[in-house]
Structures are given as C-alpha cells and as structure tokens.
Amino acid sequence: MSDSIRQPTIWLRSLRGLRMRLAATYVLLFALALVGLGFVFRQSLTGILNQQSERVLDEEWRAMKAYLRFQRGELMWTYDPEDAEEAYAVDRLRRVLLLTDERGNVLELSSGYSALGSESIQQIRSVVQSREPISVVRHDFRGETYLVRMGIMRDQGRAFFVAIGLPVEDTLRIPDHLLRQYLLSVPVMLLVIVFVGWYMAGRALRPLHQVAETASAVAGGNLSLRIAPRGSGDELDVLIGAFNQMLERLELNFQQIRQFSLDASHELRTPITIIRGQLEVALLTAETREQFREAILTALLDVERMGQIVKSLLLLEQAESGQVVLQKTQLDIAKLAEELVSQFRIASDEKGLSLEVVAHGPCWAEVDRVQFDRLLSNLLSNALKYTHAGGRVEVILEQVDGAAHLTVSDNGQGIPAANLPHVFERFYRVRETTPDPDRGLGLGLAFVAWIARAHGGRVEVKSEPGQGSQFLVIFPAPAPVDATGPEPESTAGLLS
C-alpha cells in the first residue's frame, strides 16, 4: 500500500521539478521556433515561386510577340509547321489565349482561356489605355489558378488586346506540400529535443543537486564537506562559493561552540570538585561557627574564580566570533604604554623588578584603546609574574617601515622550546616544578593573539629557559590621517 502511494508521489514530484520545467521550456521554445520557421520558409518559397512564374510568363509573352505578327493589316501566327519545336511552342502559347480588337471583338479564343471566363469591355479598354502589360490571377471553373498577362499590340494606328495564361496551380501547391511535410516531421524533432533538453537540464542542475546533497550531509552533522567550483564564473559558481563560505562559517562557529563547551567543562570541573569537597569536609568535621565560616569563605573564593573563568570564556568567544567590534583610531602607542606601565610600578617595586619603557619618539598605530590596554596588560602581568626579584622587564616601542613594533621582554625563567607552539592556546599553561598559588587561567595570551589578529597584525614569541622571554606584537602601518583629532570611544571589557 505504501509503495503504491509512494510511486505517484515521486512521479508528481518529478513533473513539478525544476528539471522538468526547464526541459518543457526548451521544448516549447523550440516548437514555437520550428513552427515559425516553417511558415517563414513557406512564405519565402511562395515569393520565390511567384517571381519564377512571372519570369516564365515574361518569356512566354516575348515568344508570343515573336510568333504573332501583322500581315496585310491582320495579326497572324508566323512559324514553320514543319519545325516541331516551333509548332510545339505556338501550340503551347495558344492553349490559354485571348485575342480581341480594341472594341472587344474576339479574334481568337482558346478553350483553356474560355474556362477562365470572358474579359469585360471595360477591362479590355483599361489595358489598351494603360499601354503597359499587366498580370492578374484567374481561376477556372475547377478552381485551378492561372497567372494571366494582358497587353496590347499595335500596327498602323490599330490596337489589339492580347492575353495569355500560365497554369500555376501545381507551383502554388509546392509550398503547402513542403510545409505539410515539414510540420509532420516537427514532432520527431521535438522528441529528439525532449531527450536533449532533459539531458542538458540535468547537466545544468547537477551543481544544485550537489548543493542539496551537501546540505543533507551537513544536516547529518558533517560540516567539513565542500563543493568544488566549476570554474565557469557563472551564477552557479557564485552560488557554490557562497554556499562554501556559509559552511566555513558554520564549521567555525560549531568548532567554537564545541571548544567553549570543552573548555568550560574542563575548567569548571576542578573548582566544583574542590567546593564540594570543602563543604563535605566542613559538614562532617566542623564543630564551631568559625570553622563553618572559614569553609564557606573558601568556597566563595572558588565560586568567584569560577565566575571569572566563565566571564573570560564568554568574552573570548565573543571576540573570536566577531561580536566584539573594534573602534580603531590612530594613536601614539608609546604614550599609551607609558601611562599603562605607570600602573604596574607598585607591583614591580614590591617584587624588586626594574620596569622601563624604551621609545625614541612617537610610535603611531591604528588601534582600539581598550583592546590595546588589554593586550599590554596581559603581557606585563605575565612578565612580572615569571621574572624573579632583581630582574628586568622592558617595553620597547619603535616604528619599522611604517609598522608599529611593541616588544615586551624580560630576563625571567623563560619557556621551554616544546611549549612555545602552544602558549597562545586557551587554558594552556606551562607545567611548573613548584605549585603557584597565583597561577592564571591560561587565557591571557589567547587574548593577546586575538587582539593582534583583530588589528591586522601578529604576535611572535622567543624564549629560552633561564634567559627570559620576548613577545613581539606588530601592528600594520596606519593610514595617513590627522592624529591630533579627538579619539572615539572604544569597546569595553574585562582585562584578563
């Protein structure tokens, strides 16, 4: 029962499909073109045959004037009866012939012309007065068509009316016969066009089927598929390009969502376990109010840490997905660095570190003020954290070929070479030999990498264990605008 219902549904879907409509359009256009071409051909052939009939009648008219001559004031046929060719020509001319004087008195009338009917005296006088031969169409009693040439012949002031006829019925039937044969062959041609149109429509729609199949595979969860462009540069290539770009964005978004879920579950698992363990221990062992208070305070600190993790993750996801719009303006980042470094003076003095800014004049770059502060703050925080007492941290700014170079270097503990390719990944932290209670979330350098990319630049790192680290951020050359104008407001967010 279900199969019997499914088959008509498939047929109906095929009949309503785009391929069927395209094939039907091909057939309809070709049918109209073929029928129109047939009628145009018939009309052209009719005109050619009519001109040919006129030329034949002209030759018959000249031949008649050659054989019909005046002798002793009368018109007579002059030819050699013994000459078969001349005898046949005169006999042919006299088959459809009418000869009268100018008053309409019949001098000679063939049986063939009598079948066309008599000419009126008005018609005869009109031809005599016109002095030029005319051609008319006549029909006999059977309906057959004749082309008749009427004119005059003169001799010594006398005028004679002469009319000869040429049967053209068979000639006129040729275009209709050919058109009939042609129209009978049109269905065969249309049948061929149906198959060709069906094939061409299927070939033209093949990229659309690929798009549909890829979309079905995407619906099944496979976002890595792409459709190869055909290289023709037509509308289908534009559609394929837009579809592939959509898939790339979808794949990137799904990867970001998956990465966010993994990162959040990984980073929140440990604080939640710690909080649960602390509360369970307090519930089982705490006896005084102070012990309960201490356990709750420790749990609140861990909850605050969890909130910071979630907030930083959300901000990084928004940044990498393009939801954070930079408000860039041309600024002297050497001046910005001086202002920001002054905020880290107390922390560096407490740790006994030397913190200096090295800049030989202004260093212009087109940056977002808030995001630049976040980038430099993250680099300074790492440098101060991993540099021992008595160490040195420098912020160097210079203009190189128009581009702004920001370098943050220290002589701290450094990073092993095996860890360098991963330092800009989320939550990546170099394994330390001694536990660090102030260990960060592992998101600071991920923010630095994103901010550099968002400004059209890049970040590089060089480091050796025991020798220190050097982070170089390169901002592209700014556009030539007036840097003294007012600075627009920037994006806002948490410093990580």
The separation between CA 451 and the C-alpha centre of its own chain, rounded to angstroms, equals 34
**Of 407, 438, 420, residue with least CA distance to 430:** 420
Answer yes or no: do 307 and 333 share one domain: no
> Mean pLDDT score of the chain, rounded to an integer?
80
Answer yes or no: do 364 and 389 share one domain: yes
DSSP-derived pairing of the beta strands 74-77 and 158-167: unpaired
Q: In whole angstroms, what is the distance from residue 124 CA to residue 106 CA?
A: 11
Q: Which of 144-153, 154-163, 273-282 has the highest mean pLDDT?
A: 144-153
Answer yes or no: do 273 and 361 share one domain: no
Q: In whole angstroms, what is the distance from residue 193 CA to residue 100 CA?
A: 61
Going by the DSSP 8-state scheme, the letter that residue 273 receives in this structure is H
Residues 6+ apart with CB under 8 A from 420: 461, 463
Domain C-terminal end among 170, 204, 227: 170
Does any domain span residue 460? yes
DSSP letter for each residue of 192-215: HHHHHHHHHHHHHHHHHHHHHHHH
Residue 438, pLDDT above cutoff 70: no
Does any domain span residue 115? yes
Helices (H), 321-422: 333-342, 345-351, 369-385
| Each residue's pLDDT tens digit, 45-67 | 989 998 998 899 899 888 888 88
Does any domain span residue 440? yes
Domain containing 361 — which CATH number? 3.30.565.10
Domain C-terminal end among 320, 340, 356: 320
Does any domain span residue 486? no
**Cβ-based burial of 394 (10 A; exposed 0-12, middle 13-18, buried ≥19):** middle
Answer yes or no: do 285 and 408 share one domain: no
Does any domain span residue 78? yes
CA–CA distances in Å: residue 285 to residues 292, 294, 297, 449: 9, 12, 16, 47
CB distance 435 to 375 below 8 Å: no
β-strand partners of 406: 397, 473
Going by the DSSP 8-state scheme, the letter that residue 480 receives in this structure is S
Answer yes or no: do 334 and 461 share one domain: yes
**Of 345, 436, 453, 357, residue with least CA distance to 398:** 357
Does any domain span residue 159? yes
Answer yes or no: do 239 and 345 share one domain: no
| Each residue's pLDDT tens digit, 203-224 | 777 777 777 777 677 666 666 7
Domain containing 296 — which CATH number? 1.10.287
Answer yes or no: do 347 and 466 share one domain: yes
Q: In whole angstroms, what is the distance from residue 271 CA to residue 264 CA?
A: 11
Total domains in the chain come to 3
Does any domain span residue 37? no
Q: In whole angstroms, what is the distance from residue 445 CA to residue 424 CA?
A: 5
Residue 461, pLDDT above cutoff 90: yes
Instruction: Classify the phi-psi angles of 352: left when phi > 0, otherwise alpha if psi is within -120 to 50, otherwise beta.
Output: left
Going by the DSSP 8-state scheme, the letter that residue 119 receives in this structure is P
Residue 296, pLDDT above cutoff 90: no
190-194, 226-230, 471-475: least confidently modelled range: 226-230
Answer yes or no: do 281 and 160 share one domain: no
Going by the DSSP 8-state scheme, the letter that residue 467 receives in this structure is T
CA–CA distances in Å: residue 160 to residues 94, 134, 148, 451: 16, 15, 16, 112
Answer yes or no: do 316 and 339 share one domain: no
Residue 91, pLDDT above cutoff 80: yes
**Of 298, 276, 295, 275, residue with least CA distance to 285:** 295
Residues 6+ apart with CB under 8 A from 305: 271
Query: By residue range, what is the domain housing residue 301?
Result: 235-320
Q: In whole angstroms, what is the distance from residue 65 CA to residue 72 CA?
A: 17
Residue with tokens 């201490």: 294
Token readout for 406 is 């920001």
Q: In whole angstroms, what is the distance from residue 261 CA to residue 267 CA?
A: 10
CB distance 469 to 380 below 8 Å: no
Token readout for 270 is 């440990």
Q: Which residue has the higher pLDDT, 199 or 260?
A: 199
Domain C-terminal end among 259, 294, 320: 320
Query: What strand order describes the sheet that includes 403-410?
Result: 354-359, 392-400, 403-410, 468-475, 458-464
DSSP letter for each residue of 231-247: SS-SHHHHHHHHHHHHH
- pTM score of the predicted model: 0.44
CB distance 80 to 90 below 8 Å: no
Q: In whole angstroms, what is the distance from residue 17 CA to residue 370 CA?
A: 55
Answer yes or no: do 347 and 442 share one domain: yes
Give the model's pLDDT for residue 408: 95
3-state secondary structure of 490: coil
Q: In whole angstroms, what is the distance from residue 419 CA to residue 353 CA?
A: 25
Residue with tokens 């940044």: 319
CA atoms within 13 A on the CB side of 430: 20
Q: In whole angstroms, what is the distance from residue 50 CA to residue 58 CA?
A: 12
If pLDDT is split at 50, 70 and 90, which confidence band does 481 have? low
Does any domain span residue 131? yes
Answer yes or no: do 77 and 143 share one domain: yes
Answer yes or no: do 250 and 345 share one domain: no
If pLDDT is split at 50, 70 and 90, which confidence band does 71 have? confident
Residues 6+ apart with CB under 8 A from 322: none
